[in-house]
Structure 1
Amino acid sequence: MWSTLNSWFFLNNNTFFFQGGFAECFAVRSNRFRGQFALKVVEKAKLKDPSYSKMHREINLHRSVSHPNIVRLRGSFQDRHYFFLIMELCQERTLLSLINQSKRGYLSEYESKGYMVGILSAVRYLLDRNILHRDLKPGNILIGTDGHVKLADFGLAILKQDLNPMSVSGTPNYLAPEILMKRGHSECSEVWSLGCMLYCMLIGRPPFESESLDETYARIQAGQYSYPPWSKISDEARDLINACLIHTANFRPTVKEIQDDPWIKMNHPIPENALLRAKSMKDLTKQDANGNVISGRQPHRPKSTLDLASAGAVLNKSARKSIVSTHDSGFGSDPDMSRRPALAAAVNGYLNDIGALLGRIRNKECC
């Protein structure tokens, strides 16, 4: 059991809720500040860059944005071994977990449209500020119990002027063909990822997912995808997906044009109880950093030519790599569970600092 250090913050076993290849997240509850916060802990030993320039880039970019559909970074600090990021706390749900949790294995157009509206708003906000997220995928979309979407994870975000055109960054299933050809990221590649996300919502898996990373890349470069015969999505939805997945980047619509698309403009709000299917948090599907299910109910999925266990699952070690984000910041791939006690000690040792930092935030002395 995590110890309670003072009357301000509490941390216990139940508050650890995410483990990735380079970071772990904890929920911190504060009676004094009447709220809960997410504490993201990044181990410096797993960052290859000794100057931590890309970690500082993530913090600076994330701190510079403020939008209702983007998770807010409230503050950050560091010691010799860790970076600590204090963020707005969202529910333990991602868009990917909702897809997996669905009895059908996919979402309706009714639901998907509402989520896309929020996602598009966040992405357009970033583009207006010359920021590319570069890792748009269902696993990076957090959803609250009220259906409000929040874009998370700025680990790969970058200003357009700082782009290296030779960089291949992102999650393979959502990479645009021009990125694989090392022609660089752009709004066009963000639109491609948005098309992949919409397909995943409506079909239950990414359009180019296959049994190996090489085959996935080959399908992306050939523009090879199809709709399973059981799919009943509308022609308008297909037209939008197909437009986003046009192989020639400059022929794809802009984010603004997607927002004005007839399918998006249709009046299909999210039903109030759309996200309340699970009777308790225990019913929610949880995942590790690779998108693999680690607990919760397994969804029923219609049979198709590629019947995977979940939208993020793959069949073998080689294919599993296609789900992991290719972070060009040099993050490690496998968390070392033996370091959990040291991480716990570090978190406990800095709860007082969190209290002081949040006090400054409340008094508007920083952030």
Structure 2
Amino acid sequence: MNKKAPKKSLTSTDYFIEVRHLTKKFGAFTALDNVNIGVKPGEFVSILGPSGCGKTTLLRVIAGLEQQNSGSVWIQGNDVSREPVANRQLGIVFQSYALFPNINIINNVQYGLRQMTAPARRERAQEMLELVGLSDQADKYPAQLSGGQQQRVALARALAPNPSLLLLDEPLSALDARVRARLRGEIRSIQEKLGVTTIMVTHDQEEALTMADRIVVMDQGQLMQFADPQQLYGAPANTFVAGFIGTMNFLPDCRHQDTTTVRFLDYSLESRPPEGFSAPEQITTLAIRPEHVRIADDQDRSSNILRARIEQIEFRGSVSRVMVRVLHLAGHPSAHQIEIDLQPKAVDQLQLDARHDLDIYLPPKHVLAFSDSLSLGAGQSHAA
């Protein structure tokens, strides 16, 4: 019986793969809630979020390992929503490697090449092992290799059939930090060399930031933001992304006095108005990264200066993290803490120590404002 051809998209796009209004439920639990993303040809996209956010479910639906309740998956303009895994031209690398322990490395890599002749299979497998730097390990068995080497074999096996799309499900999470750091660069280098469109699930922020062209940030089944690493870090769409990517100081329960001035405790602070700003007195949360907070000096203007008391100083190698508590103008402590990253040399020069009171400066250009009344990113466009 001839297989029915996949439906062709009625509109051409620049995306290699699109996920449109995807919803997936497990009983009463909604794992994916109206998710939309588009991935460009040759792009490396990471899906990032905390445990249970839906990132692995999204990858499995893209792969065809899970069936969505509604929405669709399009690859190269074809609707593959009901297509089995075998018809999606995928290469998949799992966290557990999933190598066959009873056959040697080159035969593991050849496993998905059964349609080719035996000499062609071996030649292709050897080519892939050379690509991942394991050509001299071809006759060994998985148990004779390190965890990092086994993950390279799994990558070689996934790439051997020349897939149009490579899916990586937390491929480095089982490895120690030093091996992970090395393999990050190797995987990205191989992906760029082959030009294969790649989607990787990870819970590791550093992994996503260093490897991906763009990052899908998810929480509770919803798309929070889809942007490049620099935009996610410098212009997060909401308080979840701001707090999940890197370290962020939050000043909650602020009220806008006008479009640029916010009242926090006894202080008036300048900031950019939040997206969707509607009127004065709107409740707002301000946010600023620790590296952007400064110890105030005579050059700083009077606005955006807070009085604070040092509570703790942590030496972290290249920086020292200074934790301070904001003081009311009357001098008594508030409930709000702020973290500041300074060079250790600066800490010594300023003779900072615990219980020391000082003025800190929040540069207005680095103060982000988020409206507490706005949605935390649900339904953001895949074209973001």
TM-score range, shorter chain: under 0.3
More strand by share: 2
* Structure of larger gyration radius: 2
Q: Which has the higher relative contact order, 1 or 2, with Cα contacts under 8 A spaced 6 or more apart?
A: 1
More helix by share: 1
TM-score for the superposition, normalised by structure 1: 0.24
TM-score for the superposition, normalised by structure 2: 0.23
